[in-house]
Amino acid sequence: MWALDLLNDTILMALAPSLLVLIGSMVLIGLHWASLGAVIAVGALFYVAITVLFSTRYIAPAARISNAWDTKVGGTLADALTCNAVVKSFGAELREDTRLARVINRWRVRVRRTWFRYNYTAMAQLSLLLALRASVIGGSVLLWMSGHASPGDVTYVLTSYYVIHAYLRDVGMHINNLQRSVNDMDELVAIHDEPIGIVDASDARPIAIEGGEIVFDDVTFHYGGHREPLYDGLSVTIRAGERVGLVGRSGSGKTTFVKLVQRLYDVSDGRVLIDGQDIAKATQQSLRSQIAIVQQDPILFHRSLAENIAYGRPGASLEAIEQAARLANAHDFILRLPKGYGTLVGERGVKLSGGERQRVALARAFLADAPVLILDEATSSLDSESEALIQQAMERLMKGRTSIVIAHRLSTVRSLDRILVFDRGEIVEQGTHAVLAGKPGGIYRGLFERQVVDLGRLAAAE
Ligand SMILES: Nc1ncnc2c1ncn2[C@@H]1O[C@H](COP(=O)(O)OP(=O)(O)OP(=O)(O)O)[C@@H](O)[C@H]1O
Ligand SMILES: [Mg+2]
C-alpha cells in the first residue's frame, strides 16, 4: 500500500512538476544563450538516461532478490513457529536457530548488496551533476573572459543553472523512488497475477440440493505434479439419502473423493453431478454451503467455542449450539472448560485435545443441517465410549441426508447402506457389510477379519 502511495506521489506530485520546471528553465536559458542551453540540455538528458539505466538495470535486479529474501526470512520464521511443537519435542531449537541464522545471513548479504548499489548510483549521479555544473560555470566564465558574454549573461545563466541543478537532483531521487516502489510492489502484483485454482464459470448459478444424489460420471482426476492420475474413469452413483461408507488403505483416494464432491479441485475429465446438476457449473459458495463436513484433521478458529460450532450456521441460537454439542457428545467437556462456550480455543484449536477438537467439528457439522453430510475419519480420535454415543447421534443425523462416512475402523461403517472399498483410486468392491464380509478372498473381508482378530486378541488378553 505504501509502495503504491509512493508511486502515485512520485509521479504526480514530484516527477511531473520537476520535469516541467526543468524543461521550462532549459528552454529559457536556450532562448537567452543557445550554445550553453544546448550543453545543459545534453548534460541533463545524459544524467536522466544514466539514472534510469542504473535504476532499472543495476539496482532493480538486486532489489528484487533482496525483497524475495525478505519474504523468505518471514516464511522460515513462520514455519518454525507453527511447527513449534515438533521443534520442542525433538529438542531441535538449536537446529532451527542455525537454520534461521543461515537464512538471515544470506538475506543480509543480498540486502547489503542492494544498499551498496543505491549508494554507488547516488555517487555516480552526484559526480555527473558536479561535472555538469563545472562545465557550465567554467564555460560561461571562459566566454566572459574572451568577451563573448557580459557579466549580466553570466549571472543569468548561473542563477538559472542553480535552479536546474536542484531539479535535476530531485528528478534523480524521484526516479530512484519510482524504481523502489515498483520493486516493492513486484510480489504483490505477482500474487495478483497468480491464476485462481477453481473459478466459477461466468454463467455459474447457485446449485439447489434437495435429495442429494451424487454421481461420479467417468471421472478422471490428476493431482498436479503427479505422473499417474489418481482416478481414471471412476463412475459411481450415491443415491439420494443413501448412507455410504468409504474404506480402503491409506492413500487410496477416499479424502480426494469428498474433496471432489466439494469441488475443492476440478476434475480433469468427466463430471460430478449432484441432483443431476454438474457442480462445475454451480457457484462454489452455494455448493459448499450445502455440504456439511467433518474434515480428517479438523481445524478450529481462535475464537470462542460457540462461534466455532455456529460457523456452519451463523446466527444460530445458543440453544441450537448446545443441542448440536450434546449430539456430538461435546457439551459436558465444554461445560468443564473455564469459560464454557466462551472459551477461546487457541490457533487452529491447539488448546483442545484431538478428540475434543473432533467433537467440536462434529457439532459444527450437526448444526450446519445440510442435505449432504461428509464425515472423514470423524471419530478416529475418540475413545470407544464417545464413539458409540456419537454413532447413535450420527444415525439420527444421517436420516434423510446423503451421507458419506470415511473410516478405518470398520465398526463405524458396518451399519451403513453400502460400503465402497477403494484401492489406488478405484472402487474394487462395493456392497453391504454382510455381503462384503461374506465374500471369500475379498479385500474388505480381509480388513474386517484382521480387525476382528485384533479385537479377539485384546479380549483374550483381558
Ligand atoms: N493436495 C495434494 N496434492 C498432491 N497429492 C495429493 C494431495 N492430496 C492427496 N494427495 C495424494 O493423493 C493420494 C490419495 O490421497 P487421499 O488423501 O485421497 O487418501 P486417503 O484415502 O484419504 O488416505 P487416508 O486414509 O490416509 O486418509 C495420496 O497418494 C496422496 O499422496
Ligand atoms: Mg483421508
Alpha carbon of 366 to ligand 1 centroid (Å)? 26
Q: What is the mean pLDDT of residues 152-180?
A: 88
Handedness of CA 109, 112, 118, 121 (dihedral sign): negative
Q: What is the mean pLDDT of residues 288-302?
A: 90
CA distances from 360 to 148, 262, 287, 386, 397 (A): 93, 21, 23, 13, 16
Q: Grid coordinates 488378553 are at which residue?
A: 461
d(CA 45, CA 177): 19
d(CA 348, CA 205): 33
CA angle 179, 21, 125 (to 5 degrees): 45
Question: Which grid cell sits at 50?
Answer: 544514466
- Specify the 3-state DSSP secondary structure of 268: coil
Q: Give 357-388 pLDDT, tens digit per residue.
A: 988 998 999 898 899 999 998 888 778 877 88
* 255, 265, 408, 428, best to mutate for ligand 1 pocket (most atoms within 8 Å of CB): 255
User: 214-461 domain in CATH 3.30.390.50?
Assistant: no
What is the pTM (predicted TM-score) of this model?
0.79
Query: Which residue's alpha carbon is at the smallest distance from atom 27 of ligand 1?
Result: 250
Handedness of CA 72, 77, 78, 82 (dihedral sign): positive
Q: Which atom of ligand 1 is nearest to the CA of 225?
A: 4
Domain with CATH 1.20.1560.10 in the chain: 2-193
Q: What is the mean pLDDT of residues 33-41?
A: 85
- Per-chain mean pLDDT for the chain: 89
Q: CB neighbours (10 Å) of residue 111?
A: 19
**Which pLDDT belongs to residue 157?**
85
Query: Which residue's alpha carbon is at the smallest distance from atom 13 of ligand 1?
Result: 251
Which one-letter DSSP state was computed for residue 149? S
**Which pLDDT belongs to residue 264?**
94
* 223, 258, 296, 426, best to mutate for ligand 1 pocket (most atoms within 8 Å of CB): 223
Name which of 215, 359, 198 is nearest 285 in CA terms: 198
Q: Grid coordinates 545543459 are at which residue?
A: 40
Q: Grid coordinates 462434529 are at which residue?
A: 362
Domain with CATH 3.40.50.300 in the chain: 214-461
Judged on CB neighbours under 10 Å (0-12, 13-18, 19+), 232 is: middle
Q: Are 254 and 365 in contact (CB under 8 A)?
A: no
Helices (H), 146-216: 151-193
Alpha carbon of 145 to ligand 1 centroid (Å)? 87
Query: Which residue's alpha carbon is at the smallest distance from atom 7 of ligand 1?
Result: 223
Judged on CB neighbours under 10 Å (0-12, 13-18, 19+), 269 is: middle
pLDDT above 90: residue 261: yes
Alpha carbon of 461 to ligand 2 centroid (Å)? 31
d(CA 293, CA 296): 9
Alpha carbon of 17 to ligand 2 centroid (Å)? 62
* 221, 252, 259, 428, best to mutate for ligand 1 pocket (most atoms within 8 Å of CB): 252
Q: Give 205-246 pLDDT, tens digit per residue.
A: 999 999 899 999 999 999 988 888 999 999 999 999 999 999
* 254, 265, 293, best to mutate for ligand 1 pocket (most atoms within 8 Å of CB): 254
Fold type of domain 2-193? ABC transporter transmembrane region fold (1.20.1560)
Q: Which atom of ligand 1 is nearest to the CA of 265?
A: 1
Query: Which residue's alpha carbon is at the smallest distance from atom 9 of ligand 1?
Result: 256
Alpha carbon of 257 to ligand 1 centroid (Å)? 10
- Dihedral, CA atoms, 393, 398, 399, 401, nearest 10 degrees? 150
Alpha carbon of 185 to ligand 1 centroid (Å)? 36
Quick one: which ligand is closest to 376's CA? Answer: 2
Q: Give 86-111 pLDDT, tens digit per residue.
A: 999 999 999 999 999 999 999 999 99
d(CA 68, CA 210): 49
Q: Which atom of ligand 1 is nearest to the CA of 425?
A: 14
Which of the given ranges, 187-191, 331-335, 349-353, 376-380, has the highest pLDDT on average? 331-335
Judged on CB neighbours under 10 Å (0-12, 13-18, 19+), 100 is: middle
d(CA 349, CA 302): 6
Parallel, antiparallel or unpaired: strands 243-248 and 418-423 = parallel
Which of the given ranges, 18-27, 188-197, 302-311, has the highest pLDDT on average? 302-311
Query: Which residue's alpha carbon is at the smallest distance from atom 6 of ligand 1?
Result: 223
- Specify the 3-state DSSP secondary structure of 25: helix
Helix 93-145 crosses helix 34-53 at what angle (to 10 degrees)?
170
Q: Which atom of ligand 1 is nearest to the CA of 422?
A: 21
Query: Which residue's alpha carbon is at the smallest distance from atom 2 of ligand 1?
Result: 223
Query: Residues whose CB is under 5 A from ligand 2 (ion)?
Result: 255, 296
Q: Are 200 and 279 in contact (CB under 8 A)?
A: no
Alpha carbon of 382 to ligand 2 centroid (Å)? 17
Q: Are 203 and 217 in contact (CB under 8 A)?
A: no
**Which pLDDT belongs to residue 462?**
66
Handedness of CA 440, 446, 450, 455 (dihedral sign): negative
| Confidence band of 262 (pLDDT split at 50, 70, 90) | very high
CA distances from 347 to 81, 157, 310, 381 (A): 12, 68, 17, 19
**Pocket, ligand 1, Cβ cutoff 6 A:** 223, 226, 230, 250-256, 296
